[in-house]
Amino acid sequence: MRLLIVEKDETLNELIKLSINEIGYKSDEAFTIRDAKYFLDIRNYNLLIVDLSFGLSEVFKFIDYAKNLYPLIKIVVISDDSSIQTEIKTLKMGADDFIKKPLNFDLLTTRINVALRSGRESQIKIKDLVILKDEEKIIFNDKTTYLKGKSFEVFMHLARYPNQVISKEQLLDAIWEEPEMVTPNVIEVAVNQIRQKVDKVFKIDTIQTIRRRGYKFCYPKE
């Protein structure tokens, strides 16, 4: 799990990062909305923590940008504004949670865990294709096949974002605990396994290679 902290106050940003690291999550720090968009373009995140101090309009635009890019991403907004009206507006605009300052870090990490837990689906169903996470099993019509380990995780991650191009680097960041310790070649190996164990068995195409950009889950064809 990787989180992005979007907070202009360097001290608070660092304190949030320390709290996140203590519960076992990796994180990156952005101090501007522009930097946050840059991180989203190059790396996959499971959850964003965004300070409303950038302004309601800017934060709402950023939430929309993030959700359009990654529909399943979770967003927790933190704010000095404790009014119920602001909280309602923020949640209506797409935030998954709203936490008032001053932050209680135990509450923050608990809310993060709850948000991430709600986003961990046990299966993905796309028309007649079903992917079962716990069993590492894929069902298509009346046939069943299995993928194991990282190949299955790559397959399931791509299936979460159908028709979106995801780079090798984004896949590494999303799936490997220490992405810097492995080479992008492992993604090619995983995709080859998917094609052998899924596409060949079911006689369908699920993963499309986008030259110089990455991979796209393409079942069913648009």
The 10s digit of each residue's pLDDT in 131-142 is 998 899 999 998
User: Cβ neighbours of residue 75 under 8 Å, at least 6 residues apart?
Assistant: 47, 48, 50, 63, 66, 67, 94, 95, 96, 97
Say what the pLDDT of residue 68 is.
Answer: 83
For the chain, list the domains and their CATH numbers. Answer: 2-118 (3.40.50.2300), 123-217 (1.10.10.10)
For residue 42, the one-letter residue type is: I
Rounded Cα distance, 193 and 54, in Å: 44
Residue 175 CB neighbours (<10 A): 18
Say what the pLDDT of residue 118 is.
Answer: 67
pLDDT (tens place) for every residue of the chain, 222 residues total: 789 999 999 999 999 999 999 998 889 999 999 999 999 988 878 899 999 999 999 999 999 999 888 777 899 999 999 899 999 999 999 999 999 999 999 999 999 998 887 656 678 889 899 999 889 999 999 899 999 999 999 999 999 888 888 999 889 888 887 777 888 899 999 999 999 999 999 999 999 999 989 999 999 986
**How do strand 207-210 and strand 214-217 relate by DSSP bridges?**
antiparallel
Rounded Cα distance, 131 and 110, in Å: 29
163 φ, ψ to 5°? 65, 20
For residue 91, the one-letter residue type is: L
Say what the pLDDT of residue 119 is.
Answer: 57
For residue 105, the one-letter residue type is: F
Residue 216 Cα distances to 89, 162, 187, 199, angstroms? 34, 7, 13, 14
**How do strand 2-6 and strand 47-51 relate by DSSP bridges?**
parallel
